[in-house]
Structure 1
Amino acid sequence: MENTEAKEGLEKIDNAEVTVDLQVTSNAKNEVIDKWNYLLINGKYKTVEVQNPNFEKGVLNSIKDLRPFNKKGEDEKPITPTVQDALNLKRDIYTSFFRKPFKNFLILTGAGASMDVKGPSMKELWDIANKKYLITDLLDGNTEENGFEIICGKVKHNYTDTNLETLLSKIEGTIHFNDDIEIELDKKKVKLSDIKKELFDIIKNKCSIPCPEEAEKFPHKVLLEKLLQRKVTSPRIKVFTLNYDLLFEYASEKINAIMIDGFSFTFPRTFSGRYFDYDIVQRENSKVQEEDNFIQRVFHLHKLHGSVNWERNGDKTIIKENAVKPLMVYPREAKYEDSYDQPFFEMMARFQRNLRINNDTLLLCIGYSFNDKHINSAIEEALNQNPSFRLAIIDPGFDNKNIATSLQEIKRLALQTERILLVSETFSDFADYFPEIGTYENNDLPTINLRNERTKD
C-alpha cells in the first residue's frame, strides 16, 4: 500500500476526496495549542476524540476534553469529561461492533501483540545488539569501542537509524556483492556472516518468550477463550501471526483447545498444507448417523514467518523442541523472497484465500504495523475486491504521526466507511473488554481429581 497504485486502489472504496482534519486550534492569549487525537474511528459518524491526551505505554491517563460528550449535571451545567468517560465511550462502540456474529473471523497479529507479554520491539532488539558489541574499559567503565557503529559504517548504514531490518538487509547485500568481508572488533577480525548469525541468534533468543504465569494477564488466552465459545456450525476461527513465539500454542494449552497448525498428528510432526483442510468431528451420539458433529474449541493457526520450534529435516519441515536452527523469516528485505518458499508460501496462500471469501469476513489486526508489503497487498485486494470484507485494527498508536504510510491511508478511509474500525487500545485491555457473545456456547467441563491419598494412620 505504500505506492501510488495501492493508494488509487484503496480509493475505489469511496470516490470522495477526504482530508483528515487533526482539529488543531491555537489559543492566541496563552499561546497554547490544543490538539485532538482519535481514540476510535468507524466511519463518518462514529469517532471518539480527546483533546490534549497523555499516553503512558499506550494507555490513556489524562485528557482536557472529549467529543462527542454532552452530559450535564443537575444544575444543567456541562460536566467536564474524565478519562474513564473517554474509555467507556470508545469501548461501548467497539464492543457493539464485535457483537455482530461475523461468519468468517480472521485474526492477524504482529510484534505489538507479543510486546504485551514482554516480547521485544524492533528498537529493543537494536539496543540489545548495540550493547553486545560495545567494548568498555574494565577499570573506568568508559567506552573504548562502539563495535555496532563500526559494523554500520562498514555496510554503509546510518548508525542513528535504529532499524535492525534495514541493517540486516545491508549486511546481506554486502556479503552478496562484496564477498564475506572481515571487520576488526576488539582487536579481532570477525566475518560479516558471523555477525549476521549472531544478530539472528539475538532475535531467536529474545522471541522465545516463556508462557505467562498469570492466566488473567495473558491476552492471547483471554481473547482465544472468548472467541472459541462461538457456535461450532460457524467456520473455525483462523489465526495468522507474524510472530515466531509460541504464545498462541501456550494459550491453546491453557484453555484445552485443539489447534490445527498444518502439521501432522504423528511424530515427528511434519508440515503439509493438506492438514489445514482437516477438522475434528464426533461421529457417535450424532442426531443423524451421517451427520458431522463438529467439536468445540478448535481453531487454525498459521505462522506466516515461521516459528522458534520449526526446523528443516532434509526436504521436510518438522516441529522440534529447542530447535538449533529454527526456520524463521528474519527481518530483512529478503523476507519477501523467503515467503515464496514452503511452508511460508502455503501459509500466505491460505491468508489470501480467506481474505477473498465473500461471505461476511472480518480481519482483526492486533499489533501489526502495516510495514510488510506482501501482507498489505493481500489486505488491499480484500478491501478493493471483496464487498463483504471488513477490517478492524487494534493499535494504541494508530493516531501517531510516525505510523506507516499504508496505515495513514487506512485511517483516511476509516473516516469515510464503517467497513473499517480503528481502535486505540492495548492488546491486554482489548482482550479484557472483548464482548462475551450470548449466542456463543460455553460448555466448560469441571476438573476431576481421582488421585489416591494415603492417610497418616
Structure 2
Amino acid sequence: MSEEYQNKKNDEIVKKIRKLAITKQLNFLIGSGTSYPAIPLMGMIEEKDNEQRNRILAQKVKTVSEQILKDISEIENPISITLDNYAEFLSKILDILNLSNSRQTPRTTNLFTTNYDLFIEKAADQVLHAYRFVFNDGASGYFERKLDSSNYNRTVSYKGLNDNYTNEIPSVTLIKPHGSMNWEKKEDSVLIRSTIVDDPVIVKPTGYEEQETFYNNHFHEMLRVFQLELDKPQSVLFVIGFSFQDNHISKMIKRAIQNPELMIFAFGFADGDRDIYLNNLGFSDDRSNFIILTPKDFSDDYRTKNIGTDGENWYSFTLPNLTSILRGASLEDLSDGKS
C-alpha cells in the first residue's frame, strides 16, 4: 500500500468521524484508559488477590479525586495533565454541538463512563467559565442533590429577551454506571455531594453480582439509560479507554449493534488492542456498524509517537488524539453527501 493511498484513507476516516459527530446523536463511552497515567490501570497493580487490588485502586482513585478538588494551581502532574486533557476534550465536544442543527439533532452529548474519579466533573467546572452549556449529572435539588435517571432526558433552551426566538443550549449529560467518589447513599437514594464522601457508592470491577441489592438496582438503572440511548435512531458512539472486559456493558454493546442506525467506533490505545477487543466481544472481525480503529489507521497528526525501551518507535491513540480529530470539525465536513 503506497504512502499516498494510506494518507488518503486516513483522511477519509477522520472526515467520517467528524461528520458523524456533527450530524448524529453523539455518545461517548469512556473507560479507565482515559484517566491514565494519573490513575493506574487495574492490570498495573501488582497484587494477585482481586479484592485487595480493588481496594488499592479505589484508594488511589479517592486520593486523586481529593487532589482534583483542590485549587487548580495546587494540582500536581500528571493529574493536572490528565485534567487538561479532559477539559480540552469537553471544549471540542461543545464546539461540535454548536455546529449541529438542533432542529434535526438535539444539541446534547451523553458521556457514559465506568470511571468513578471526578476528572470529568472538574473539567466541566473549568469549561463552564468559557462556554455556555448545561452540565447534567442526573441530579436534582439544591442543598441535597438526589440522583434520578428521569433527569437525564431533558433539553434546555435560551429564550430571547423579547420572546422572539429560542435557541437550544448545548448539554453534556454524564452517566456513571459504576458510581462516583462523591456519591453518598442515604436510605434508598443516592446524593451527589460537592466533596469526596467516606463511603462512596461505587461498583468495583469484581462485578456487580457480589454487591448488595442497592448497588444492583443503581447499576441496572444506569445501564438501562445507556441501552435506551444506543437504541435511538441516528446515533453514534465513540469508545475510548475501554477494552470491553466488563461483560455487562459488552453485552449491551453487542445488543446495540443490532440497531442499524447506530454507528460505533472503538479506539484502541495500541495496534494490538484490535485483537483484544474482538476477543473480549467474541467477534471474529469488525461489523458494518462497529469499527475498531488503532494508531495504524491514522496519520502522525492524529496519533502519538513513543520510543520503546529498545529504542524502536511505536504509536498510541489517546484522548488528546481523539480531541485533535474533533478540533478540526467544521461544516465543510458535511459537503460530500450522505454519511
TM-score normalised per structure 1: 0.56
Mapped pair 1:105 → 2:19: no
Verify the 8 A CA contact 1:244 1:328 in the aligned structure 2: yes
CA distance in 2, matches of 1:199, 1:430: 30
Match of 2:270 in 1: 397
Which residue is equivalent to 2:3? 69
For the residue of structure 1 that corresponds to 2:201, the secondary structure is: coil
The letter for the 1-side match of 2:294 is V
> Contact (CA 8 Å) 1:271, 1:343: kept in 2 or not?
no
Q: 1:196 to 1:299 in 2, by over 3 A?
A: closer
Note if 1:330 corresponds to 2:204.
yes
Q: CA RMSD in A?
A: 3.2
Pick the aligned partner of 1:368 from 242, 247, 263. Answer: 242
Structure 1 counterpart of 2:23, one-letter code: F
Matched with 1:74 is: none
1:240 lines up with 2:112 in the alignment: yes
- Structure 1 residue 199, shift from structure 2 partner: 4.4
Does residue 114 (structure 1) correspond to residue 39 (structure 2)? The answer is no
Matches within 5 A, 1:147-158: none
1:318 counterpart residue number: 191
The equivalences for 1:201-280 within 5 A come to 201-205=58-62, 208=65, 210-211=67-68, 218-229=84-95, 230=97, 231=100, 233=102, 234-235=105-106, 236-256=108-128, 257-280=133-156
User: Does 2:268 match 1:347?
Assistant: no
Pick the structure with more helix per residue.
Answer: 2
Query: Does structure 2 retain, via aligned residues, the 8 Å contact 1:110–1:366?
Result: yes
Deviation at 1:272? 1.4
Correspondence for 1:62: none
Partner of 2:15: 96
Number of equivalenced pairs: 288
- When structure 1 is superposed on structure 2, of 428-437 and 199-208 the one drifting more is 199-208
Contact 2:203 2:211 in 1 (8 A): no
**Could you say if the C-alpha distance between residues 218 and 107 of structure 1 is closer, same or farther in structure 2, counting changes exceeding 3 Å?**
same
Matched, 1:433 2:325: yes
Worse-superposed segment, 422-431 or 277-286: 277-286
**Aligned residue identity for 1:282:** Y
Shift of residue 70, structure 1, vs aligned partner? 5.2
Amino acid at match of 1:389: L
**Stretch deviating more after TM superposition (230-239 or 321-330):** 230-239
- In structure 2, do the counterparts of structure 1 residues 217 and 251 end up closer, same or farther at CA, with 3 Å as the change threshold? closer
Deviation of the 1:396 alpha carbon: 1.7
Q: For residues 198 and 372 of structure 1, what CA distance do their matches in structure 2 show?
A: 18
Q: 1:216 to 1:352 in 2, by over 3 A?
A: closer
Letter in 2 for 1:224: L
| Counterpart secondary structure, 2:286 | helix
1:333 Cα deviation after fit: 3.2
CA distance in 2, matches of 1:123, 1:399: 16
* Percent of pairs with identical residues: 24
Q: 2:180 aligns with which of 293, 302, 307?
A: 307
The one-letter amino acid paired with 2:174 is L
- In 2, distance between residues paired with 1:396 and 1:119? 16
Aligned equivalents of 1:216, 1:378: Cα separation in 2: 28
Distance 1:97 1:225, change over 3 A: same
Q: Secondary structure at the match of 1:238?
A: strand
Contact 2:147 2:190 in 1 (8 A): yes
Tell me if structure 2 keeps the 8 A contact 1:119–1:209: no
The amino acid that maps onto 2:149 is G
> Which runs of 5 or more structure 2 residues have no equivalent in the other structure?
296-316, 333-339
Alpha-carbon distance in 2 for matches of 1:201, 1:109 = 18
Q: Map 1:406-445 to 2 at 5 A.
A: 406-407=279-280, 409-410=282-283, 412-414=285-287, 417=288, 419-424=290-295, 425-439=317-331
Amino acid at match of 1:103: K
Deviation digits for residues 369-423 of structure 1 (CA, Å, limit 9, x no counterpart): 1011111111111112x11111111112352487255457557125xx3652423
Aligned partner of 1:123 in structure 2 is 43
Q: 1:219 to 1:232 in 2, by over 3 A?
A: farther
* Structure 1 residue 340: Cα displacement: 6.6
Which residue does the alignment assign to 1:356? 231
| 8 Å CA contact 2:137, 2:174 repeated in 1 | yes
With over 3 angstroms needed to count, the CA separation of the structure-2 counterparts of 1:399 and 1:364, relative to structure 1, is same
